[in-house]
Chains A and B, each alone.
Chain A
């Protein structure tokens, strides 16, 4: 973070170029991203993202918390897909513990995770389209997003920072009628995707602003560490849900949308197709939802039921111990990666055998994707920067952590 002064590498511009500062309060930067541009007329000569304005030291904070206290912190990293972060963290801790998760909890996790992906893609689509000048799509996307947030509220009591996944399972049984509401949404939603596509996919203005814009080749995307739709938009067929299945994803059938062109339009198409695939996964999860417990049978790790706590002494003791002194996790280290809406979200957790993590590191998909920005923009027009930033779908909370 460079204190709002031009970074020295860019100070020595040529006589015919100028330095333009974009952000950190520019609406198209989706938060507090600052981009320093060296421009020659309308053409970009160099571009340098400057990040760190939202750095809160979450990794350091995690080291001072018990394992179960970290879950709400992970919500706040990527505030558009909190459940994906919850999932990645709890999977990593469960791997450290060697904990078996009952099938119903796994399927609930897949269901909620895919709803989160839809939620995140809707915010991306709305804001991305608005950046480029299509206002209506934003209103439509937020209409459907509201439905999903209401579902989150019904199941966890929170609209955004749900913290619904817990180490060993999920927090609560879904309320009565919840699955019917989800099914109702899943039945309605495909026609809404058609609406968005009607507004954009064939729209000549949209096509002109996105096709052939901010291209990146597959080799460059891999070398720069891009992942998710940013990588798949360049023709690299990687999806961790299929390639390194976690939380029972191997039981679900879905296609991985890939586009070859590597431009803004290709990334747009990948994400819109993903919306359709996610709805398919949601329906499969609803149809095949197993019966059974939602928490693992591990009294030293999982909080007991409220009712048991009032009637059984062991449950009360376990509850008191977990809340007051946490639970020890065997020594070791794990790296768990999941496919977040933005790409490979990874948690690297080191345990020294105590009740607090020795080190928690979050591999942020956006941070790596951000590195593709110079490759996409240099040599192109100034107006394309906005389209490029929108197309890699950045969330600054996740980049800066």
Chain B
């Protein structure tokens, strides 16, 4: 059981094609990065997520053209409370990268990536449904799994596992 320690120094990770691409576009869009267990995580500034995705999607050298997944994690009660996580896959290079956006608990809003990948539609609706995070520019942001009149967002950490009785 030997785990290599995670690399979190952005200077060391600059060589990664996705980070290099994003930094040459807008250095402020990359808040940080982490390389842990062979997986690359890039922290993206909240307002830059849609453009960052569209940039990585159309990168000619290593196009991360496939959106595997969008999900979220609730770190209640610490702030920033939410993390929205995008898993991107490059069909040509067979590589994965993870993008993360951190959101405060009082205004969990960010831009939708449905204009980049229409397939983000259901994933974002699921996150909206279960976490209460809003996606601006989503074509049909309504509950996906829970009933329309359900109160609360079940996957938030302040929501009890057994539900409200």
* A interface residues, Cβ below 8 angstroms from B: 1-3, 9, 51-52, 55, 57, 59-61, 63-64, 95-99, 222-226, 236, 238, 243-244, 298, 330, 332-335, 337, 344, 346, 348, 350, 358-359, 361, 363, 367-368, 370-371, 400-401
Given contacts A60-B161, A223-B118, A371-B118, contact A346 B37 (CB under 8 A): no
The CA of A1 and the CA of B126, in the complex, are separated in Å by 11
How far is the CB of B21 from the nearest CB of chain A, in Å?
A: 20
> Quick one: which of A1, A97, A346 contacts B1, CB cutoff 8 A?
A97
> Quick one: which of A55, A61, A334 contacts B146, CB cutoff 8 A?
A55
Name the CB-closest residue of A to B159: A60
- Tell me the residues in window 63-89 of chain B with beta carbons closer than 8 Å to chain A beta carbons: 65-69, 71, 73-74, 85, 87
Indicate whether B154 reaches chain A with its CB closer than 8 angstroms.
yes
- Tell me the residues in window 110-153 of chain B with beta carbons closer than 8 Å to chain A beta carbons: 117-123, 126, 130, 140, 143-149
Contacting residues, chain A, for B85 (C-beta < 8 A): 348
Contacting residues, chain B, for A97 (C-beta < 8 A): 1
Range class of the B interface residue count = 35 or more
* B interface residues, Cβ below 8 angstroms from A: 1-3, 6, 36-37, 39, 41, 65-69, 71, 73-74, 85, 87, 91, 94, 96, 98, 117-123, 126, 130, 140, 143-149, 154-155, 159, 161
Given contacts A57-B154, A223-B117, contact A51 B144 (CB under 8 A): yes
Given contacts A346-B68, A348-B69, A363-B68, contact A1 B148 (CB under 8 A): yes
Are B155's CB and A59's CB within 8 A?
Answer: yes
Are B147's CB and A363's CB within 8 A?
Answer: no
Contacting residues, chain A, for B146 (C-beta < 8 A): 1, 52, 55
Contacting residues, chain A, for B41 (C-beta < 8 A): 333
* Interface of chain A: mostly helix, strand, loop or mixed: mixed
> Quick one: which of B98, B149, B159 contacts A335, CB cutoff 8 A?
B98
Are B122's CB and A9's CB within 8 A?
Answer: no
Given contacts A98-B1, A98-B3, A335-B39, contact A3 B148 (CB under 8 A): yes
Contacting residues, chain A, for B155 (C-beta < 8 A): 59-60
The CA of A59 and the CA of B145, in the complex, are separated in Å by 13
Given contacts A52-B145, A225-B68, contact A332 B6 (CB under 8 A): yes
The CA of A359 and the CA of B84, in the complex, are separated in Å by 13
Given contacts A222-B65, A344-B68, contact A243 B94 (CB under 8 A): yes
The CA of A334 and the CA of B85, in the complex, are separated in Å by 12
Contacting residues, chain B, for A298 (C-beta < 8 A): 1
Given contacts A61-B161, A225-B119, A346-B68, contact A332 B36 (CB under 8 A): yes
Are B122's CB and A361's CB within 8 A?
Answer: no
Contacting residues, chain A, for B39 (C-beta < 8 A): 333-335
Contacting residues, chain A, for B123 (C-beta < 8 A): 225, 367-368
Contacting residues, chain B, for A337 (C-beta < 8 A): 68
Contacting residues, chain A, for B91 (C-beta < 8 A): 222, 236, 238
Are A98's CB and B69's CB within 8 A?
Answer: no
Are B1's CB and A99's CB within 8 A?
Answer: yes
Are A9's CB and B140's CB within 8 A?
Answer: yes
